[in-house]
A and B are shown apart, each in its own frame.
Chain A
């Protein structure tokens, strides 16, 4: 076939090394027997893993992260799927304007959203920090829920639903027994995308601080700011393993790479 310009290949190799190399370096640091962040590691040991897995603040933060991610995802889907249905099946108008409205939460800077929620929800309306955090994550995940399930709905074959209706199924039965199974992969992809986005978010829980709102990334951030030990490197390594597992599992489930790539590329598009 056509020969490639050698420069393209060389730059690509450099780029991928630059992208992934530093992340792999952290794995090496995590296995150190020494007390500082250092590469190559000073002797090998698992002590920092043992310490990370029994370090109270991180475990507490992990619980908060998981709770917020799961609850936020469920809420975003519960609100977003009906919106996608009304746009793709119910003929809600003006479609473009409504679609744009639901992309706005990912266009406005997350720090600004966090600060706005802090002022309005926590200061003015006296909502608890955890309530504000959950509300913030829900609204941040809403665009993904609407768009990913919407894309599935747009692709699904409508004649299946029409056949069910023609055979006498009501609206609800058609939805639960035909539409939902058909768009299942889309709902799964939206869920994983939401869980990952929420789990990794820093600005919201940093600005909405209060009892029980420190999420894992924020706890790691605080630790890094004040301590120079490899504890966080061990956590990073564990999260890296988790991400690999998530990627391998979801790739089989829903072609996740494509979904993630498309969502990141189109995040500003209604």
Chain B
């Protein structure tokens, strides 16, 4: 019924735009040098990478922060996801809506709240002085910890959503059986539900890690210039110091880290899941 030509005609415009506005620009920026841009291509990029200590320090910080954020998001998000999947339908809908709601807000809005809490005149600083724990207002912003806290808040919904989906596929009777055989609620969760939900949880963890590696708004606002990550460094090279081969080098490094994390996660479930 469908002619080949029709299929082709439907597919062509989308593919053309994808090739022209995405594949070509990204490929050129990452591995070659675009025409008219003063930048010598991959060799220059790798040279910039090798020579620049700054980039490697930022890369180490980025990975460290992302790993910490992933761990914290799992710690907070897994119980919520589990609770949602085991609740009655009405509670499930409300809790899921609450967890998803922050995703409708811009990262600027979600990060702004931490300025209120962590700033020099912020809630926490005043609480510390009020309780006599600090003598004068303390600046909690512009530290790696502030970035970790902000990113954890930003990405916990992703773990909640993926964990909810994963736990929903684990039949509650399995836990009931474990309980019936004498397991406590805690060990039924740890030894039955969690292992079965692991592949889905891993997807969530990967999304958080990749998101944290590439996050920009939060490290900019909460980390400032003193704690650069790869993302803020890329922006700096591209827009402030206009050092294009360094910017491209950072872009390359960031993309490689994200794709590597994705590839790793894509391979892992096959091993983790019992066949």
Contacts and interface: CB of A to CB of B under 8 A. Distances in A.
A38 B1 CA distance: 66
Contacts of A102: 14, 18
A167 interface: no
Interface size classification for chain B: 35 or more
Interface stretch (A43-51, A52-60, A85-93, A180-188): A85-93
A85 B7 CA distance: 8
A262 B161 CA distance: 8
Contacts of B29: 112, 115-116, 119-120
Contacts of A239: 105-106, 109
Chain A residues touching B, range: 35 or more
Nearest to A14: B76
Interface stretch (B44-52, B53-61, B63-71, B116-124): B116-124
Contacts, number: 304
Interface string A184-216: 000000000000100110110011010000001
Interface in B58-96: 75-77, 79-80, 82-83, 86, 93, 95-96
A105 B23 CA distance: 9
A209 B160 CA distance: 35
A99 to B, nearest CB: 12
Given A15-B77, A82-B13, A264-B161, A202 B121 contact: no
B270 interface: no
A90 B7 contact: yes
Interface in B113-144: 113-117, 119, 121-123
Contact of A89 (B2, B102, B214): B2
22 contacts: A8-B82, A20-B102, A23-B109, A79-B17, A90-B11, A92-B7, A104-B18, A104-B23, A105-B18, A109-B251, A112-B255, A113-B22, A119-B28, A120-B29, A135-B17, A207-B239, A217-B217, A233-B116, A243-B105, A260-B100, A261-B165, A264-B161
Interface of A: 2-5, 7-9, 11-12, 14-16, 18-20, 22-23, 25-26, 29, 36-39, 79-80, 82-83, 85-87, 89-92, 98, 101-102, 104-105, 107-113, 115-121, 123-124, 135-136, 138-139, 142, 146, 165, 171, 196, 199-200, 202-203, 206-207, 209, 216-217, 220-221, 224-225, 232-233, 236, 239-240, 243-244, 246-247, 251, 257, 260-262, 264-265, 267-268
